[in-house]
Structure 1
Amino acid sequence: FVGGFSALVHKGASRADNNLMDSIPDALAATDFVCSSVNVGSTRAGINMDAAFKMADIVKKTAEATADRQCIGAGKLVVFCNAVEDNPFMAGAFHGSGEADAVVNVGVSGPGVVRSVLANMPKDADMTAISEAIKATVFKITRAGELMAREASKRLGVTKGILDLSLAPTPAEGDSVAEILETIGVGKCGGPGTTAALAMLNDAVKKGGVMASSSVGGLSGAFIPVSEDAGMIRAAEAGALPLEKLEAMTCVCSVGLDMIAIPGDTSVETIFGIIADECAIGMINNKTTAVRVIPAIGKKVGDRLEFGGLLGYAPVMPVNGHAGTVFAHRGGRMPAPINSLKN
């Protein structure tokens, strides 16, 4: 994938920004690899509610423009709050204005390795021991990534950037963040205790990785995409992992609501509400959050979107339809929280 078809509109949109946003459905429908991202909020600026509503409409139009291809266009579109300039993970990666002309940023993954280590620990191991095992494992993974990044930068003759410490799952069996949480002992991912286990996992990943790298950045946490994680898919299909629980989990993990299929008749106002809620979590907690939802045009709850490859498949999940219309159409800019004045 190729990123960078992006706009930063958290404080306001220029004519060029609006033109770019309006062209997203056609651009993502006409290309196979181009990805797009739009930042509509930040802790310092607040949330551009006009841009958030516009992007909700664009998400729906992008899905409609690629309805003959499993609505994949919406799977290449991310709406951010507090987007970072050095994120190496698609679909939200873009080359920030503060970056050098050319830079090597490396994403470090490895949830399958972490799960395997935890699976060999005794059932009576306490949480401190679990955290220490995760830290030690992530240190080794990250150190390998650091050394490869140094060598790649040297051979290419470009600046070495950051290592992103995110645990990014794939549909391959065992390579799952959900299965890490279940190995820790929460039962089915989404059940009580899931958010706490994810908070510990996220923190241990950062603690283990930071000592192994000369420069940490990007998103650096645990990704929880539904379609790209076999354990998440099973939990969603079993009804153990509703959209509201995923939103709660985004308070303590990396990024946000990711690769989630919703019914094709979901209203733009409802999609706006999902985006606004997720942006509020990022704004108040001073963290990066994002929404990558895929309206499954012509499909209903219980159906699925089949993407194949690393994108897997997404079961269409139910959405709370009580969004109303007044909130979505108020517009303006939600003021930044008071902690934005720290300087």
Structure 2
Amino acid sequence: MINRYEVYETNQMIAEENLDVRTITLGISLLDCIDADLDKLNENIYNKITTVAKDLVKTGEEIEQEFGIPIVNKRISITPVALIGGAACKSPEDFVTIAKTLDKAAKEVGVNFIGGYSALVSKSMTKSDENLIRSVPQALACTDRICSSINVGSTKTGINMDAVRLCGEIVKKTADATKENDSLGCAKLVVFCNAPDDNPFMAGAFLGVTEGDAVINVGVSGPGVVKHAIEQVRGKGFEELCETIKKTAFKVTRVGQLVAGEASKRLGIPFGIIDLSLAPTPAIGDSVAEILEEIGLERVGAPGTTAALAMLNDQVKKGGVMASSYVGGLSGAFIPVSEDKGMIDAVEMGALTIEKLEAMTCVCSVGLDMIAIPGKTSASTISGIIADEMAIGMVNQKTTAVRLIPVIGKDVGETAEFGGLLGYAPIIPVNEYDCSAFVNRKGRIPAPVHSFKN
């Protein structure tokens, strides 16, 4: 039983250490909206979302006021649109009409983002999948609140290299379509391996086909809280350090559990999972990089960074799973560049490179996230980077993702400005040696041998 005392003891965390609930994400199944008539499909989608989610924002605000817990975002995730639009959409342009409908519905109910403009193509692509993927640049350019994700690999199926190659091209086209805003569209597009069905965080959220009609998933955050806690054990051994991180993660997750339970009860929608990821923001003191530096690194990126991150990620999970019976989503530590002031500083100083970030993704929750690269970077190079990250996820049986932003018209040494929680990012150099002969091979990289467990 969660009581108000548990919330009371977190007041200092909220007031001084940037503790917040990052998102309440309402998952909505659109499977019952499917229709072969495109106009009817769009009508069904709009009506379903605006009916089920009509009280989401109001409920979130009421919980904030009653318990004094900041809830930064209220979001919606939906069934992957490539599945919903298969019968009605015969071209990429048809899918764009759905994107506009989703954007209109999101604005009507007042949510920050709606995720699920997605395709799941880890083994192969249907024509519907391909049309959706090809529609992404236009869809993200003509909407404000749509987020898109493409799952191109899994431990069970391998990596769909045809989809990887196409995604490299789509990232470039999305960058060009939104070049007036520092290629902002790419900040709302993520490529996955082993994408989870219940992720509440954007841009990768969608409602998996194993889910019910509607579900409440909550993402908590607390890098500032963890950093403040481990300051109290500065110079102590790893046992004290790990215990401190676990206890802090437990308290942070209990706050999320309270919010999730309240939202579920008030909306009359089942609770799904708590995602206990440490999700940073550009605010000073709300940084995963600063946690790693408090652990003992002069700068994130120094030797020892990957080991420190592995320990942090593991202790956060160990603490969190004791605080909720239903932990899911991504859960661990995010390492986005633009959304983390410490990461930004490390890149600007030259302490952190894209290669070191890739190594760090082997042991954290996600992957290469919110990284601005030169606008001149080729589509094949982007595909190669995606393939590398997908391989890490496939072999290690974990979720990995790529959210690269080739900022059109800008190069290394310049800065891209995204605004809000998306922050800003220095343009980071990438290896420019050609990999096109590799990514242009047709077909699929097979699943690893350890995937055969049946």
TM-score category of the 2 structures, normalised to the smaller one: over 0.9
- 1:3 matched to which residue of 2? 115
- 1:127 matched to which residue of 2? 238
- 2:342 matched to which residue of 1? 231
Q: State the Cα distance separating 1:192 from its structure 2 match.
A: 0.4
Contact 1:273–1:323, Cα closer than 8 Å, also in 2: no
- 2:331 matched to which residue of 1? 220
Letter in 1 for 2:204: G
Matched, 1:53 2:197: no
Q: Distance in 1 between matches of 2:266 and 2:325?
A: 18
Relative contact order, higher structure (CA 8 A, sep 6+): 1
Q: State the Cα distance separating 1:100 from its structure 2 match.
A: 1.1
1:85 to 197, 200, 220: 197
Contact 2:220–2:277, Cα closer than 8 Å, also in 1: yes
- 2:376 matched to which residue of 1? 265
3-state secondary structure, aligned to 2:221? coil
Q: Distance in 2 between matches of 1:76 and 1:220?
A: 20
TM-score (norm 2): 0.75
Aligned pairs (5 A) from 1:133-148: 133-148=244-259
Contact 2:136–2:174, Cα closer than 8 Å, also in 1: yes
Q: State the Cα distance separating 1:240 from its structure 2 match.
A: 0.4
3-state secondary structure, aligned to 2:195? coil
- Structure 2: segments with no counterpart, 5+ residues: 1-112
Count of residue pairs the alignment pairs up: 342
1:158 to 244, 263, 269: 269
1:107 to 219, 223, 228: 219
Q: Distance in 2 between matches of 1:140 and 1:338?
A: 39
2:366 to 234, 238, 255: 255
- 1:203 matched to which residue of 2? 314
2:154 to 12, 18, 42: 42
Tell me the alpha carbon deviations over residues 320-339 of structure 1, each in whole angstroms, 9 at most, x when there is no partner: 01133210111210000012
Aligned pairs (5 A) from 1:317-332: 317-332=428-443
Tell me the alpha carbon deviations over residues 147-178 of structure 1, each in whole angstroms, 9 at most, x when there is no partner: 22111101111110000111000000000000
3-state secondary structure, aligned to 1:186? coil
3-state secondary structure, aligned to 1:273? helix
Letter in 2 for 1:281: I
Contact 2:234–2:295, Cα closer than 8 Å, also in 1: no
Q: Distance in 1 between matches of 2:182 and 2:287?
A: 23
TM-score (norm 1): 0.99
Q: Distance in 1 between matches of 2:436 and 2:210?
A: 39
Q: State the Cα distance separating 1:144 from its structure 2 match.
A: 1.4
- 1:168 matched to which residue of 2? 279
Matched, 1:306 2:417: yes
Letter in 2 for 1:276: A
Matched, 1:295 2:396: no
Q: Distance in 1 between matches of 2:119 and 2:142?
A: 19
Q: Distance in 1 between matches of 2:165 and 2:243?
A: 43
Tell me the alpha carbon deviations over residues 248-270 of structure 1, each in whole angstroms, 9 at most, x when there is no partner: 00000011000000000001111
Letter in 2 for 1:300: D
Q: Distance in 1 between matches of 2:432 and 2:250?
A: 43
Matched, 1:69 2:188: no
Q: State the Cα distance separating 1:120 from its structure 2 match.
A: 2.3
Contact 2:384–2:435, Cα closer than 8 Å, also in 1: no
**Aligned-pair RMSD on alpha carbons?**
0.7
Which structure is larger by alpha-carbon Rg, 1 or 2? 2
Letter in 2 for 1:293: L
3-state secondary structure, aligned to 2:377? coil
Matched, 1:15 2:123: no
- 1:333 matched to which residue of 2? 444
Letter in 2 for 1:283: M
Q: What is the percent sequence identity of the aligned residues?
A: 67
